[in-house]
Chain A
Amino acid sequence: EAGVVQSPRYKIIEKKQPVAFWCNPISGHNTLYWYLQNLGQGPELLIRYENEEAVDDSQLPKDRFSAERLKGVDSTLKIQPAELGDSAVYLCASSLDRQGQAFFGQGTRLTVV
């Protein structure tokens, strides 16, 4: 069975440009997470979805970040415009439900120059 798939694996953009990340969770997993991992730190939750509903987006910087999970399956995370401080790894994870084990994708490493 395929795990959580993220693309692209790497992205380099200039500041003020937009960028989007895509995540395909494990089939049947209702809960989907986006995490931000800065260098040398643990992941921090940006947003959690239960099916297509964002149930926790308190840590998402809504002035520049947006996310969607249409049809409760795939999800995209967008940054517009990107800033130098957004350089980090963006991780997607999914679980059967909010209590279930979270399975992580390999992440997208973003570099803003």
Chain B
Amino acid sequence: AQSVTQLDSHVSVSEGTPVLLRCNYSSSYSPSLFWYVQHPNKGLQLLLKYTSAATLVKGINGFEAEFKKSETSFHLTKPSAHMSDAAEYFCVVSARSNDYKLSFGAGTTVTVRA
């Protein structure tokens, strides 16, 4: 079985300050991990993905995430938040053992204060 826990349902940051979105996963086999972003009335967009290569993954719009197997974590960070980062973020796990089915976390809502 596989699952994802996003530890914060809501994160509020000031513009220009760092963003940290926390994600823990459970998977019985070597997982692939993803972060998707969903802006209001828009489709889900892939930010970045980890597929057993480098543990530090860089994505679009200045986001990056680090895969830590010992902690079963895949936290998403950005050094400086922009107003346009206000959105819903989903951590997702997939594994061959589960036929590559995507399992989504419940999501983290990010608000950015001016």
Interface residues of A (CB under 8 A from B): 3-4, 40-45, 48, 56, 91, 93, 98-99, 101-107
**Is A101 touching B49 in the complex (CB atoms < 8 A)?**
yes
User: CB within 8 A of B44: which of A41, A44, A98, A104?
Assistant: A104
Give the interface size bracket for B toward A. Answer: 10 to 19
* B35 within 8 Å of A (CB atoms): no
A100 nearest in chain B by CB position: B100
* B46 within 8 Å of A (CB atoms): yes
* B90 within 8 Å of A (CB atoms): yes
**Is A42 touching B101 in the complex (CB atoms < 8 A)?**
no
Interface residues of B (CB under 8 A from A): 4, 36, 41-46, 49, 90, 92, 99-102, 104-107
Using known A-B contacts A98-B99, A99-B100, A101-B49, determine if residue A42 contacts B105 with beta carbons closer than 8 Å. Answer: yes
Please, which residues of chain B bring their CB within 8 A of the CB of A4?
43
Using known A-B contacts A40-B106, A40-B107, A101-B49, determine if residue A45 contacts B44 with beta carbons closer than 8 Å. Answer: no
**Is A42 touching B99 in the complex (CB atoms < 8 A)?**
no
B94 nearest in chain A by CB position: A99
**Is B106 touching A41 in the complex (CB atoms < 8 A)?**
yes
Please, which residues of chain A bring their CB within 8 A of the CB of B101?
45, 48, 56
Please, which residues of chain B bring their CB within 8 A of the CB of A106?
41-43
B87 to chain A, nearest CB (A): 14
